[in-house]
Chains A and B, each alone.
Chain A
Amino acid sequence: MTYAPMKPTKPGYEEPHEQIRKIRITLCSKNVKNLEKVCSDLIQAAKAKAIRVKGPVRIPTKVLRITRKAPCGEGTNTWDIYELRIHKRLIDLYSTPDVVKQVTSITMEPGVQVEVTIVDV
Protein backbone atom coordinates (compact mmCIF):
# COMPACT_ATOMS: atom_id res chain seq x y z
CA MET A 1 0.00 0.00 0.00
CA THR A 2 1.29 3.37 -0.86
CA TYR A 3 -0.66 5.09 1.81
CA ALA A 4 0.23 4.77 5.45
CA PRO A 5 -2.51 3.33 7.59
CA MET A 6 -4.74 5.98 9.17
CA LYS A 7 -5.20 6.13 12.87
CA PRO A 8 -8.73 5.29 13.83
CA THR A 9 -10.28 8.54 15.07
CA LYS A 10 -13.78 9.34 16.05
CA PRO A 11 -15.24 12.18 14.12
CA GLY A 12 -14.70 15.46 15.89
CA TYR A 13 -12.19 14.00 18.35
CA GLU A 14 -9.18 16.13 19.27
CA GLU A 15 -6.24 14.86 21.19
CA PRO A 16 -6.35 16.56 24.58
CA HIS A 17 -2.87 17.99 24.63
CA GLU A 18 -3.45 19.78 21.37
CA GLN A 19 -6.36 21.73 22.71
CA ILE A 20 -5.88 25.41 23.05
CA ARG A 21 -6.61 26.60 26.52
CA LYS A 22 -6.70 29.94 28.17
CA ILE A 23 -3.81 30.17 30.55
CA ARG A 24 -3.65 32.95 33.05
CA ILE A 25 -0.35 33.93 34.55
CA THR A 26 -0.52 36.03 37.68
CA LEU A 27 2.61 37.85 38.71
CA CYS A 28 2.91 39.40 42.15
CA SER A 29 5.81 41.32 43.54
CA LYS A 30 6.93 43.95 45.95
CA ASN A 31 9.04 45.95 43.54
CA VAL A 32 7.95 47.22 40.21
CA LYS A 33 11.19 47.02 38.26
CA ASN A 34 11.63 43.27 38.54
CA LEU A 35 7.97 42.73 37.91
CA GLU A 36 7.87 44.79 34.76
CA LYS A 37 10.98 43.06 33.51
CA VAL A 38 9.49 39.62 34.00
CA CYS A 39 6.28 40.80 32.33
CA SER A 40 8.00 42.10 29.25
CA ASP A 41 10.21 39.00 29.04
CA LEU A 42 7.19 36.74 29.17
CA ILE A 43 5.35 38.69 26.54
CA GLN A 44 8.34 38.80 24.23
CA ALA A 45 8.88 35.07 24.58
CA ALA A 46 5.22 34.43 23.90
CA LYS A 47 5.17 36.64 20.83
CA ALA A 48 8.28 34.92 19.55
CA LYS A 49 6.37 31.67 19.60
CA ALA A 50 3.39 33.32 17.94
CA ILE A 51 0.94 32.78 20.76
CA ARG A 52 -2.03 35.02 21.23
CA VAL A 53 -1.28 37.18 24.26
CA LYS A 54 -3.48 39.50 26.19
CA GLY A 55 -1.12 42.18 27.41
CA PRO A 56 -0.15 42.83 31.00
CA VAL A 57 -3.21 43.89 32.92
CA ARG A 58 -2.09 46.03 35.80
CA ILE A 59 -4.25 45.41 38.81
CA PRO A 60 -4.36 48.30 41.32
CA THR A 61 -1.52 48.03 43.81
CA LYS A 62 -2.43 47.10 47.31
CA VAL A 63 -0.74 49.17 49.95
CA LEU A 64 -0.54 47.44 53.32
CA ARG A 65 0.10 49.96 56.04
CA ILE A 66 1.06 49.55 59.63
CA THR A 67 1.00 52.61 61.81
CA ARG A 68 2.67 52.75 65.14
CA LYS A 69 3.54 55.32 67.70
CA ALA A 70 7.08 56.49 67.07
CA PRO A 71 9.52 55.78 69.87
CA CYS A 72 10.57 59.41 70.12
CA GLY A 73 8.55 62.46 70.83
CA GLU A 74 5.29 63.11 72.57
CA GLY A 75 1.90 64.01 71.33
CA THR A 76 -0.47 62.96 68.65
CA ASN A 77 1.54 63.65 65.57
CA THR A 78 4.44 61.32 66.16
CA TRP A 79 3.68 58.23 64.17
CA ASP A 80 5.69 55.87 62.04
CA ILE A 81 3.96 54.45 59.01
CA TYR A 82 5.40 51.34 57.37
CA GLU A 83 3.96 50.19 54.10
CA LEU A 84 4.29 47.23 51.80
CA ARG A 85 3.18 47.62 48.23
CA ILE A 86 1.94 44.58 46.37
CA HIS A 87 1.93 44.94 42.59
CA LYS A 88 0.01 42.48 40.49
CA ARG A 89 -0.01 41.82 36.78
CA LEU A 90 -2.09 39.44 34.70
CA ILE A 91 -1.08 37.90 31.44
CA ASP A 92 -3.44 35.70 29.42
CA LEU A 93 -2.08 33.27 26.88
CA TYR A 94 -4.13 31.19 24.49
CA SER A 95 -2.10 28.10 23.68
CA THR A 96 -1.25 24.60 24.78
CA PRO A 97 0.15 24.02 28.25
CA ASP A 98 3.40 22.54 26.96
CA VAL A 99 4.41 25.69 25.18
CA VAL A 100 3.53 27.73 28.21
CA LYS A 101 5.78 25.64 30.41
CA GLN A 102 8.65 26.39 28.08
CA VAL A 103 7.91 30.07 28.17
CA THR A 104 7.60 30.32 31.93
CA SER A 105 10.72 28.31 32.62
CA ILE A 106 12.87 30.88 30.87
CA THR A 107 12.12 33.90 32.97
CA MET A 108 13.04 33.64 36.62
CA GLU A 109 13.61 36.57 38.87
CA PRO A 110 13.84 36.62 42.63
CA GLY A 111 11.08 38.40 44.38
CA VAL A 112 8.41 37.80 41.77
CA GLN A 113 5.76 35.22 42.48
CA VAL A 114 4.34 33.47 39.45
CA GLU A 115 1.06 31.59 39.48
CA VAL A 116 -0.32 29.80 36.49
CA THR A 117 -3.94 28.73 36.20
CA ILE A 118 -5.39 26.86 33.29
CA VAL A 119 -8.95 27.51 32.31
CA ASP A 120 -10.78 25.40 29.79
CA VAL A 121 -11.97 27.57 26.98
Chain B
Amino acid sequence: MGQKINPLGFRLGTTQSHHSLWFAQPKKYFKGLQEDKKIRDYIKNYVQKNMRLSSGVEGIARIEIQKRLNLIQVIIYMRFPKLLIEDKQRKHEELQMNVQKELNCMNRKLNIAITRIGNPYGHPNILAEFIARQLKNRVSFRKAMKKAIESTEQADTKGIQIQIAGRIDRKEIARVEWIREGRVPLQTIGAKIKYCSYRVRTIYEVLGIKIWIFIDEE
Protein backbone atom coordinates (compact mmCIF):
# COMPACT_ATOMS: atom_id res chain seq x y z
CA MET B 1 0.00 0.00 0.00
CA GLY B 2 1.31 3.47 -0.76
CA GLN B 3 1.49 6.12 1.86
CA LYS B 4 0.37 9.71 1.59
CA ILE B 5 2.77 12.55 1.31
CA ASN B 6 2.04 15.77 3.14
CA PRO B 7 0.03 17.79 0.62
CA LEU B 8 1.67 21.03 1.68
CA GLY B 9 5.13 19.78 0.92
CA PHE B 10 3.98 18.17 -2.29
CA ARG B 11 2.77 21.47 -3.68
CA LEU B 12 5.45 23.80 -2.43
CA GLY B 13 6.72 24.82 -5.83
CA THR B 14 3.38 25.48 -7.41
CA THR B 15 0.18 25.99 -5.51
CA GLN B 16 1.59 26.38 -2.02
CA SER B 17 3.93 29.06 -0.76
CA HIS B 18 6.40 28.87 2.08
CA HIS B 19 5.39 30.12 5.49
CA SER B 20 8.91 31.30 6.25
CA LEU B 21 10.59 33.54 3.73
CA TRP B 22 14.23 34.10 4.39
CA PHE B 23 17.60 33.16 3.16
CA ALA B 24 20.71 32.16 5.04
CA GLN B 25 23.97 30.65 3.99
CA PRO B 26 24.15 26.92 4.75
CA LYS B 27 26.45 27.45 7.71
CA LYS B 28 24.02 29.73 9.49
CA TYR B 29 20.82 28.11 8.38
CA PHE B 30 20.22 26.31 11.64
CA LYS B 31 20.17 29.54 13.62
CA GLY B 32 17.40 30.90 11.46
CA LEU B 33 15.44 27.69 11.89
CA GLN B 34 15.78 27.77 15.64
CA GLU B 35 14.60 31.34 15.74
CA ASP B 36 11.58 30.49 13.65
CA LYS B 37 10.68 27.61 15.93
CA LYS B 38 11.01 29.76 19.02
CA ILE B 39 8.84 32.49 17.57
CA ARG B 40 6.10 30.11 16.56
CA ASP B 41 6.06 28.23 19.86
CA TYR B 42 6.05 31.39 21.86
CA ILE B 43 3.18 32.91 19.94
CA LYS B 44 1.07 29.79 20.23
CA ASN B 45 1.67 29.50 23.97
CA TYR B 46 0.92 33.14 24.51
CA VAL B 47 -2.33 32.97 22.60
CA GLN B 48 -3.37 29.83 24.44
CA LYS B 49 -2.72 31.34 27.82
CA ASN B 50 -4.58 34.52 27.12
CA MET B 51 -7.43 33.09 25.15
CA ARG B 52 -8.54 30.77 27.92
CA LEU B 53 -10.08 33.72 29.62
CA SER B 54 -12.39 34.56 26.76
CA SER B 55 -14.75 32.46 24.74
CA GLY B 56 -13.30 29.86 22.67
CA VAL B 57 -11.34 28.64 19.83
CA GLU B 58 -7.91 30.21 19.59
CA GLY B 59 -7.84 30.26 15.90
CA ILE B 60 -4.33 30.83 14.68
CA ALA B 61 -4.42 29.72 11.09
CA ARG B 62 -0.80 30.35 10.30
CA ILE B 63 2.24 32.33 11.21
CA GLU B 64 4.36 33.77 8.45
CA ILE B 65 7.86 34.89 9.14
CA GLN B 66 9.83 37.10 6.82
CA LYS B 67 13.36 38.06 7.60
CA ARG B 68 15.19 40.89 5.98
CA LEU B 69 18.46 42.56 6.82
CA ASN B 70 17.59 44.08 10.15
CA LEU B 71 13.90 43.40 10.39
CA ILE B 72 11.92 40.32 11.32
CA GLN B 73 8.35 40.53 10.19
CA VAL B 74 5.85 38.15 11.73
CA ILE B 75 2.33 38.02 10.35
CA ILE B 76 -0.23 36.08 12.36
CA TYR B 77 -3.39 35.04 10.57
CA MET B 78 -6.09 34.73 13.17
CA ARG B 79 -9.77 34.27 13.44
CA PHE B 80 -10.47 36.60 16.36
CA PRO B 81 -7.92 39.33 16.35
CA LYS B 82 -10.22 41.56 18.34
CA LEU B 83 -9.54 39.50 21.43
CA LEU B 84 -5.98 40.62 21.16
CA ILE B 85 -7.02 44.07 20.17
CA GLU B 86 -8.95 44.60 23.43
CA ASP B 87 -5.87 45.62 25.28
CA LYS B 88 -4.18 45.87 21.97
CA GLN B 89 -1.37 48.19 22.79
CA ARG B 90 -0.30 46.38 25.89
CA LYS B 91 -0.54 42.87 24.54
CA HIS B 92 1.08 43.74 21.27
CA GLU B 93 4.05 45.23 23.04
CA GLU B 94 4.21 42.36 25.49
CA LEU B 95 4.36 39.91 22.63
CA GLN B 96 7.04 41.86 20.89
CA MET B 97 9.20 42.30 23.97
CA ASN B 98 8.93 38.68 24.96
CA VAL B 99 9.67 37.34 21.54
CA GLN B 100 12.68 39.58 21.30
CA LYS B 101 13.92 38.38 24.67
CA GLU B 102 13.51 34.81 23.51
CA LEU B 103 15.53 35.50 20.45
CA ASN B 104 18.19 37.44 22.33
CA CYS B 105 18.56 39.87 19.54
CA MET B 106 17.77 43.46 20.18
CA ASN B 107 19.71 44.64 17.19
CA ARG B 108 17.07 43.40 14.80
CA LYS B 109 13.71 45.02 14.85
CA LEU B 110 10.72 42.78 15.31
CA ASN B 111 7.43 43.64 13.77
CA ILE B 112 4.33 41.63 14.57
CA ALA B 113 1.22 42.11 12.48
CA ILE B 114 -2.08 40.38 13.06
CA THR B 115 -4.44 39.79 10.17
CA ARG B 116 -7.99 38.60 10.28
CA ILE B 117 -9.04 35.73 8.07
CA GLY B 118 -12.14 35.96 5.96
CA ASN B 119 -13.31 32.37 6.10
CA PRO B 120 -12.32 30.92 9.45
CA TYR B 121 -13.80 27.54 8.76
CA GLY B 122 -12.02 27.24 5.47
CA HIS B 123 -8.81 26.79 7.39
CA PRO B 124 -7.90 23.34 8.65
CA ASN B 125 -5.99 24.57 11.70
CA ILE B 126 -9.00 26.37 13.07
CA LEU B 127 -11.30 23.46 12.31
CA ALA B 128 -8.91 21.09 14.04
CA GLU B 129 -8.93 23.19 17.19
CA PHE B 130 -12.69 23.29 17.04
CA ILE B 131 -12.92 19.51 16.85
CA ALA B 132 -10.30 19.16 19.56
CA ARG B 133 -12.34 21.23 21.95
CA GLN B 134 -15.40 19.14 21.32
CA LEU B 135 -13.50 15.91 21.84
CA LYS B 136 -12.16 17.20 25.11
CA ASN B 137 -15.70 17.92 26.17
CA ARG B 138 -16.49 14.26 25.49
CA VAL B 139 -18.69 14.79 22.49
CA SER B 140 -18.99 11.67 20.39
CA PHE B 141 -16.39 11.83 17.66
CA ARG B 142 -18.80 11.30 14.81
CA LYS B 143 -20.92 14.22 15.96
CA ALA B 144 -17.84 16.37 16.24
CA MET B 145 -16.74 15.52 12.73
CA LYS B 146 -20.18 16.13 11.28
CA LYS B 147 -20.48 19.47 13.01
CA ALA B 148 -17.15 20.48 11.61
CA ILE B 149 -18.18 19.48 8.11
CA GLU B 150 -21.41 21.43 8.40
CA SER B 151 -19.60 24.58 9.35
CA THR B 152 -17.24 24.11 6.44
CA GLU B 153 -20.06 23.79 3.97
CA GLN B 154 -21.02 27.36 4.74
CA ALA B 155 -17.54 28.44 3.82
CA ASP B 156 -16.38 28.25 0.25
CA THR B 157 -14.91 24.79 -0.08
CA LYS B 158 -15.29 22.06 -2.62
CA GLY B 159 -14.34 19.15 -0.47
CA ILE B 160 -13.20 18.17 2.97
CA GLN B 161 -11.80 15.07 4.57
CA ILE B 162 -11.38 14.56 8.29
CA GLN B 163 -9.51 11.70 9.90
CA ILE B 164 -9.30 10.91 13.60
CA ALA B 165 -6.95 8.26 14.87
CA GLY B 166 -6.33 6.80 18.27
CA ARG B 167 -8.33 5.38 21.11
CA ILE B 168 -11.64 6.69 19.90
CA ASP B 169 -14.40 6.60 22.51
CA ARG B 170 -11.79 5.46 25.01
CA LYS B 171 -11.88 1.95 23.64
CA GLU B 172 -8.95 -0.33 24.28
CA ILE B 173 -8.16 -0.93 20.66
CA ALA B 174 -7.14 2.11 18.69
CA ARG B 175 -8.55 2.69 15.27
CA VAL B 176 -8.81 5.21 12.49
CA GLU B 177 -12.06 6.83 11.44
CA TRP B 178 -12.53 9.19 8.57
CA ILE B 179 -15.25 11.05 6.73
CA ARG B 180 -15.10 12.73 3.37
CA GLU B 181 -17.48 15.21 1.74
CA GLY B 182 -17.09 16.41 -1.79
CA ARG B 183 -13.87 15.72 -3.63
CA VAL B 184 -10.36 15.87 -2.30
CA PRO B 185 -7.97 15.15 -5.18
CA LEU B 186 -4.72 14.60 -3.36
CA GLN B 187 -2.85 13.48 -6.45
CA THR B 188 -3.58 16.64 -8.41
CA ILE B 189 -0.79 19.11 -7.84
CA GLY B 190 -2.83 21.92 -9.37
CA ALA B 191 -5.47 21.53 -6.70
CA LYS B 192 -5.20 23.88 -3.74
CA ILE B 193 -5.47 21.69 -0.72
CA LYS B 194 -4.93 22.88 2.80
CA TYR B 195 -3.82 20.35 5.33
CA CYS B 196 -3.37 20.26 9.03
CA SER B 197 -2.44 17.56 11.49
CA TYR B 198 -3.28 18.30 15.08
CA ARG B 199 -2.75 16.37 18.23
CA VAL B 200 -5.37 16.36 20.97
CA ARG B 201 -4.34 15.39 24.44
CA THR B 202 -7.21 14.43 26.65
CA ILE B 203 -7.07 12.76 30.01
CA TYR B 204 -7.72 9.37 28.59
CA GLU B 205 -6.00 9.38 25.28
CA VAL B 206 -4.04 11.17 22.63
CA LEU B 207 -5.89 11.54 19.36
CA GLY B 208 -4.51 12.64 16.05
CA ILE B 209 -6.70 14.74 13.82
CA LYS B 210 -5.88 15.25 10.18
CA ILE B 211 -7.90 17.56 7.99
CA TRP B 212 -7.67 18.08 4.25
CA ILE B 213 -9.68 20.90 2.72
CA PHE B 214 -9.95 21.23 -1.04
CA ILE B 215 -10.43 24.82 -2.01
CA ASP B 216 -9.92 25.41 -5.63
CA GLU B 217 -8.58 23.93 -8.78
CA GLU B 218 -6.42 25.99 -11.02
- Over the window 28-72 of chain B, the binary record of Cβ atoms lying under 8 Å from chain A Cβ atoms (1 yes, 0 no) is 000000000000000000000000000000000000001111000
Please measure, in the bound complex, the distance between the C-alpha atom of A114 and the C-alpha atom of B68, giving whole angstroms.
Answer: 9
Known: A28-B23, A28-B25. A110 touches B67 (CB 8 A): yes
Q: How many residues on B have C-beta within 8 angstroms of the other chain's C-beta atoms? A: 13
B22 at the interface (CB under 8 A from A): yes
Complex CA–CA separation, A30 to B67 (angstroms)? 13
Q: How far is the CA of A113 from the CA of B66 in the complex (A)?
A: 12
Task: Check B3–A113 contact: CB distance below 8 A.
Answer: no
Alpha-carbon distance between A29 and B23 when the two chains are bound, in angstroms? 6
Q: Is the pair A30, B23 in contact by a Cβ cutoff of 8 Å?
A: yes
- Contact status A113-B24, CB under 8 Å: yes
Interface residue A25 (Cβ < 8 Å from any Cβ of B): no
Tell me if A108 is interfacial: C-beta within 8 Å of chain B. Answer: yes
Q: Is the interface of B mostly helix, strand, loop or mixed?
A: loop
Task: Give Cα A28 to B49, complex, Å.
Answer: 39
Closest residue of chain A to B1, judged by CB?
A: A72
Which residues of B sit under 8 angstroms from A111, Cβ to Cβ? 21-23, 66
Residues of chain B lying within 8 A (CB to CB) of residue A64: 26
Contact B66 A110 (CB under 8 A): yes
Question: A5 on the interface (CB 8 Å rule)?
Answer: no
Task: Indicate whether A112 reaches chain B with its CB closer than 8 angstroms.
Answer: yes
Query: Contact: A72 with B68, CB < 8 Å?
Result: no
Residues A110 and B2 in contact, CB atoms below 8 Å apart: no
Q: Which chain B residues border A109 with CB–CB below 8 Å?
A: 68
For the complex, is B100 an interface residue (Cβ under 8 Å from A)? no
Complex CA gap A72/B3 in Å reads 7
Bits for B1-12, please: 1 = Cβ < 8 Å to A, else 0: 011000000000
- The reply on A71 being an interface residue by CB < 8 A is yes
B positions within 8 Å CB-CB of A: 2-3, 21-26, 66-69, 73
- List 27 contacting pairs A-B, 8 Å CB cutoff, sorted by A: A28-B23, A28-B25, A29-B23, A30-B23, A64-B26, A71-B3, A72-B2, A72-B3, A86-B26, A108-B68, A108-B69, A109-B68, A110-B21, A110-B22, A110-B66, A110-B67, A110-B68, A110-B73, A111-B21, A111-B22, A111-B23, A111-B66, A112-B23, A113-B23, A113-B24, A113-B25, A114-B69
Chain B residue with minimal CB distance to A70? Answer: B3
Question: Roughly how many angstroms separate A71 CA and B21 CA in the complex, as a whole number?
Answer: 28
Q: Smallest distance from the beta carbon of A30 to chain B beta carbons, Å?
A: 6
Bound state CA distance, A32 and B78, in angstroms? 30
Closest approach, in angstroms, between the C-beta of B177 and any C-beta of chain A? 23
Q: In this complex, what residue of B is CB-closest to A73? A: B2
Cα distance A111–B73 in the bound complex, in angstroms: 12
Give A29's nearest chain B residue, CB to CB: B23
**Which of B3, B69, B73 is packed against the most chain A CB atoms within 10 Å?**
B69
Q: How near does chain A come to B66, taking the closest CB pair, in angstroms? A: 4
